[in-house]
């Protein structure tokens, strides 16, 4: 029989324990654990959620890896074409983990209305384009269909539509500069069949998605010539390795860059979230641990006579320390229970009702995204319990210094 656990259970269940002098301090300790787990859970869920959302939005517009020509062109416009007659297209079979590859092209253009004008980039895509990301961003209408004959349907961001006063179904003219600068620009009349909102204002303010065949015609390219290739992989965590493998698998005349290389500042910024999460977890566990140390010391002081009696009856120091550690474990688990209940409630409420909006010009998202995974929640709870108990081993050492004779006479 585990008598230490038996005595700890009797102490916890007694009415005197619940109405004792230490009761308020114990409640504060439980509250500290609960608040700590809520803050840690929110920090992890929102930190990872932001990282994934921002990353997915960059991937939606660029793919995980981009294959381009080696040239000195630093703009977003496709200048020198690449032939689609490549071993890696339309399926990249030489590298495992490549989910999809698509051919695209980009060109600067100007949209002119009766009262305004806007310089934008038309991103030309074809029948091989993966619309899965944009279907999630879609606000109105549908995504264009470029699998049939060439058409003038485009997908426009809500940001651009609001700036220019467009709505679903409207038509507009877009002007493109010809290869020969002395000739008049090309003018194409487009129709808005879908409006999207990715929440990533840098991209929303830049791109209109249209048919790549218009750009091939304007640039005097052949039907098998495109601006670049976008590659999607199955596992983002293996991005760097896949980027190297893809680079080695393509011809030496072509270059391959991962999105973390192309958008270095954005990905370095979101890496800071990891440091913030670790910092918050460390501080919260430290605060919760200190509160539990205080509660344990008060419990020991309150039960000094009991400690003396147990020692007089033959209990060793470690046995009595275990008794109080069982008691402290109960308090920690109680705090974890209420913390999980409150924390998960807040996270699910944010996921469902989007209670806390964010400025997209700063965070690239319109509301605080949450990532809920029960693996990290379980790990967080176990880690908090173990670390708090380890911290309590030191103050429980005070029990070894208590003399049975003096403890029994202690008032």
Per-residue pLDDT tens listing for the chain (411 residues):
577 777 777 777 665 555 666 678 788 888 989 999 999 999 999 999 999 999 999 999 999 999 999 875 666 788 889 999 999 999 999 999 999 999 999 999 999 888 888 999 999 999 999 999 999 899 999 999 999 999 999 999 999 999 999 999 999 999 998 777 777 889 999 999 999 999 888 899 999 999 999 999 999 999 999 999 999 999 999 999 999 999 999 999 999 999 999 999 999 988 888 888 999 999 998 988 888 888 888 888 887 888 888 888 888 888 888 888 888 888 899 999 999 999 999 999 998 888 888 887 778 888 888 999 999 999 999 999 999 988 888 888 887 777 776 666 655
Q: Which of 130, 140, 268, 244 is nearest to 194 (CA)?
A: 140
- Let me know whether 85 and 108 are in one domain: yes
- Let me know whether 234 and 271 are in one domain: no
- Let me know whether 245 and 287 are in one domain: no
| Domain closes at, from 198, 219, 252 | 252
- Let me know whether 203 and 106 are in one domain: yes
**Does residue 199 lie within any of the structural domains?**
yes
What is the β-pairing status of strands 65-69 and 228-233?
antiparallel
- Let me know whether 50 and 151 are in one domain: no
- Let me know whether 232 and 122 are in one domain: yes
- Let me know whether 196 and 242 are in one domain: yes
| Domain closes at, from 202, 219, 252 | 252
**Does residue 257 lie within any of the structural domains?**
no
Query: Could you tell me what percentage of the chain is helix, strand and coil, using 3-state DSSP and rounding each to the nearest 5?
Result: 55, 20, 30
| Domain closes at, from 217, 252, 287 | 252
**Total domains present in the chain:** 2
- Let me know whether 238 and 295 are in one domain: no
Residues 6+ apart with CB under 8 A from 157: 195, 196, 197, 198, 203, 204, 205, 207, 208
Reduce the DSSP state of residue 205 to 3 states and report it: coil
Domain span at residue 149?
Answer: 71-252
User: Residue 70, class by beta-carbon neighbours within 10 Å (0-12 exposed, 13-18 middle, 19+ buried)?
Assistant: exposed
- Let me know whether 208 and 79 are in one domain: yes
Question: Running DSSP on this structure, what letter comes out for residue 177?
Answer: -
- Let me know whether 241 and 120 are in one domain: yes
CA distance 374 to 383: 14
């Amino acid at each position: 029989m585990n008598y230490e656990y038996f005595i700890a259970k009797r102490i916890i269940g007694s009415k005197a324990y619940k109405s004792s002098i230490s009761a308020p301090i114990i409640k504060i300790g439980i509250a500290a654990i609960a608040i700590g787990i809520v803050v840690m859970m929110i920090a992890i869920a929102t930190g990872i959620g932001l990282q994934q959302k921002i990353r997915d939005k960059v991937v939606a517009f660029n793919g995980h890896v981009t294959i381009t020509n080696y040239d000195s062109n630093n703009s977003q416009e496709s200048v020198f074409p690449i032939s689609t007659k490549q071993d890696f297209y339309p399926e990249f079979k030489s590298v495992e983990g490549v989910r999809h590859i698509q051919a695209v092209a980009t060109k600067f253009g100007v949209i002119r209305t009766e009262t305004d004008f806007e310089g934008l980039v038309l991103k030309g895509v074809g029948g091989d384009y993966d619309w899965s990301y944009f279907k999630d961003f879609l606000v109105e209408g549908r995504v264009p269909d470029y699998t049939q004959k060439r058409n003038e349907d485009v997908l426009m961001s809500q940001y651009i539509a609001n700036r220019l006063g467009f709505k679903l179904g409207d038509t507009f003219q877009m002007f493109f500069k010809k290869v020969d600068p002395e000739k008049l620009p090309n003018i194409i009349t487009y129709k808005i069949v879908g409006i999207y909102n990715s929440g990533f204002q840098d991209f929303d303010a830049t791109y209109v998605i249209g048919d790549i065949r218009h750009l091939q015609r304007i640039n005097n390219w052949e039907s098998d010539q495109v601006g670049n290739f976008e590659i999607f992989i199955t596992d983002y965590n293996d991005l760097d390795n896949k980027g190297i493998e893809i680079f080695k698998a393509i011809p030496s005349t072509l270059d391959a860059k991962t999105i973390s290389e192309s958008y270095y500042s954005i990905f370095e910024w979101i890496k800071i979230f990891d440091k913030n999460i670790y910092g918050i977890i460390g501080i919260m566990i430290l605060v919760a641990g200190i509160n539990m140390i205080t509660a344990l010391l008060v419990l020991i002081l309150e039960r000094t006579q009991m400690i003396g009696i147990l020692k007089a009856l033959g209990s060793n120091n470690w046995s009595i320390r275990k008794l109080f550690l069982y008691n402290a474990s109960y308090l920690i688990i109680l705090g974890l229970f209420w913390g999980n209940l409150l924390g998960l409630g807040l996270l699910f409420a944010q996921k469902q009702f989007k209670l806390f909006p964010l400025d997209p010009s700063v965070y690239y998202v319109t509301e605080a995204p949450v990532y809920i995974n029960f693996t990290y929640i379980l790990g967080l709870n176990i880690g908090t319990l173990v670390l708090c108990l380890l911290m309590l081993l030191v103050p429980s050492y005070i029990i070894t210094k208590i003399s049975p004779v003096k403890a029994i006479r202690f008032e």
